[in-house]
Amino acid sequence: MALIFDSDQEKAYTINCNSVITAGAGSGKTSVLTERFLWLLHHRKAQVDEILTLTFTRRAAAEMYERIYHRLKGAGESHSGRELERFDRAQISTLDSFCSQIVRSSCHLFGLPENFDLNEESIKKLAEETSFNFLLAHLEDPALSELITIMGFERVQHNILSDIAVNHLHLGANFDFMDMYARQQDLLIKKSIQLPAQWENLKAQLSTLEHPGKVLAENKEELKRLDSLKSLLIEERYNELAQLLGGLSLSKRGGDKSEVILQMKDIVDQLRETAGLLIEVGTLLANRHILKSFLSLLESFQAEYDREKRKRALLDFSDLSQLAVAALLKNKALRNYYKKKFRYIMIDEFQDNNQLQKELLYLLAEKEDLLGEGIPQAQDLEEDKLFFVGDEKQSIYRFRGADVSVFKGLSGELAAQSREPAVALNTNYRSEPGLIAFFNRIFRNIMGDAVFDFEADFQELRACNRK
């Protein structure tokens, strides 16, 4: 049965420009997206196979397919009949399976067979196996053997190599370890200038404190030890410094003058923290050659892991989106094909995607007469092609690389180019009014000010007055 849409929902599904619909659960986002499909057909803006409809899970894709098919069947117009006959050509799928389609058609670009396997579990096993073999083959490497001595073989295998492989090494994108090294060194050098200045500042504060006779007598030994701090610092004897600070204990038994001791303790705590950081920075700088050769070893590991994945034709989801973007960038004929094929692109639950997936959609929405080298900017997009739907508060796939800040940034980016104001859906059609008030209250408290960008801004929902 067709729904009676409210005016906001109608504005949303009939919009004539790129848009982002951000609204809470139950506000009718998926219904609006489905209705837009039918509206596009009925207004002859597109045919079934010219609309790319994407969701995040297979279940949602299957549901969406069913919903649109039945609505179309129920519509009963002659035009709907024609579209119904061609409905098997509709592309309503998960983004992953769409990426996989792109990658399969461009396997030759990446030296992969067309029948590659997509399996996260096998990838994890492959990462463990490749790490193990790689470590065995490089045991003689001085940097590696040092690391193994400190951390142990298994931790280097699981917590370093395997973890880096699964989370950071993807086909189609070369991780630049040397660039990472350079950036880290810059930061360390800055810190190595900043921290001693901070230290001096704390010492100066300490010297301005009054040392009334009794307090001084109580802590005579400790204060004498504090005096040796500076020479240790100057001579970069960080380990001794840490030991000294660790063992320092000031007595509070200073009678009515104990305030001074409390202040001293506070400064000593800060000195201790600064010394801790200094030790870390000092150690990292002193051992930079180990780090550098370890990182260059990781470059060979990356090449090895890459080879193994290709040899076994085994990919994970990140490889897939990475390769799909690379394919569209490299193979312009392919990009052109998809750009022409799809007049409209709609995507549900976009909060569960990340930058890479946004880039993929931007490539497909690039203006028809452009065929640029890089990822298009918002102003390079067709004006009425993208329809994003999502809910900032509902991102549940962070473990799979979802990055809700991308969705949050999208509204502003597209709105700046848009002819029409953004539409908000503020009525909740699912929950009971009491529950809505309850959730509004908690979200206002928890999310009132979004401290972290992955936290969503609070957007109040109106309860629908259902009779």
| Site residues for Mg ion per CB under 5 A | 29-30
Q: With b meaning 16 or more CB within 10 Å and e meaning fewer, what string describes 224-252? A: eebeebeebbeeeebeebbebbeebebeb
The contacts of residue 464 (CB under 8 Å, 6+ apart) are 427, 428, 429
Q: How far is the CB of 331 from ligand ADP (least distance, A)?
A: 35
Structural contact between residues 222 and 250, judged by C-beta atoms closer than 8 angstroms: yes
Whole-angstrom Cα distance, residue 213 to residue 96? 74
Tokens linked to 384: 């009425």
Of 25 and 313, nearer to ligand ADP (C-beta) is 25
In the stretch 105-144, what mask flags binding to ligand ADP with x, by CB under 6 A? ----------------------------------------
Q: Is 30 in the site for ligand ADP (CB under 6 A)?
A: yes
Among residues 3, 136, 182, 437, which is the contact residue for ligand ADP, using CB under 6 A? Answer: 3
The option from Mg ion, ligand ADP, none interacting with 26 (CB < 5 to 8 A, set by class) reads ligand ADP
Q: How far is the CB of 349 from ligand ADP (least distance, A)?
A: 8
User: What does each C-alpha distance from 463 to 26, 35, 49, 182, 423 come to in angstroms?
Assistant: 10, 22, 37, 54, 18
Of 5 and 87, nearer to ligand ADP (C-beta) is 5
For the four alpha carbons of 327, 328, 329 and 333, in that order, the dihedral sign comes to: positive
Q: Which of 231, 215, 214 is nearest to 264 (CA)?
A: 215
Structural contact between residues 21 and 348, judged by C-beta atoms closer than 8 angstroms: no
Backbone angles phi, psi at 165, to 5 degrees: -60, -50
Structural contact between residues 174 and 302, judged by C-beta atoms closer than 8 angstroms: yes
Three-state secondary structure string covering 234-262: HCCCHHHHHHHHHHCCCCCCCHHHHHHHH
Of 73 and 86, nearer to ligand ADP (C-beta) is 73
Among residues 5, 65, 110, 132, which is the contact residue for ligand ADP, using CB under 6 A? Answer: 5
Q: How far is the CB of 25 from Mg ion (least distance, A)?
A: 7
Instruction: Please give the distance of CA 57 from its chain centroid, rounded to a whole number.
Output: 19
The option from ligand ADP, Mg ion, none interacting with 6 (CB < 5 to 8 A, set by class) reads ligand ADP
Of 26 and 282, nearer to ligand ADP (C-beta) is 26
Of 348 and 366, nearer to ligand ADP (C-beta) is 348
Q: Which of 311, 337, 365, 309 is nearest to 101 (CA)?
A: 337
Whole-angstrom Cα distance, residue 121 to residue 126? 9
Alpha helices (runs of H) in 316-459, residue ranges in sequence order: 317-330, 332-341, 355-364, 404-415, 433-447
Among residues 9, 130, 302, 357, which is the contact residue for ligand ADP, using CB under 6 A? Answer: 9
When computed from its CA atoms, the radius of gyration of the chain, rounded to whole angstroms, is 30
Of 352 and 382, nearer to ligand ADP (C-beta) is 352
Q: How far is the CB of 29 from Mg ion (least distance, A)?
A: 5
Site size toward ligand ADP (CB under 6 A) is 14
Of 294 and 350, nearer to ligand ADP (C-beta) is 350
Among residues 13, 15, 19, 28, which is the contact residue for ligand ADP, using CB under 6 A? Answer: 28
Of 69 and 181, nearer to Mg ion (C-beta) is 69
Which part of the chain contacts ligand ADP (CB under 6 A), choosing from 28-36, 109-117, 175-183, 225-233? 28-36
Q: Report DSSP letters for 298-315, one per residue.
A: HHHHHHHHHHHHHHHTEE
Q: How far is the CB of 49 from Mg ion (least distance, A)?
A: 24
The option from ligand ADP, Mg ion, none interacting with 28 (CB < 5 to 8 A, set by class) reads ligand ADP
Q: Where in 415-444 is the site for ligand ADP (CB under 6 A)?
A: 429-430
Q: How far is the CB of 358 from ligand ADP (least distance, A)?
A: 20
Q: How far is the CB of 11 from ligand ADP (least distance, A)?
A: 13
Q: Is 26 in the site for ligand ADP (CB under 6 A)?
A: yes
Q: How far is the CB of 30 from Mg ion (least distance, A)?
A: 3
Q: Which residues bind ligand ADP (CB under 6 A)?
A: 3-6, 9, 25-31, 429-430
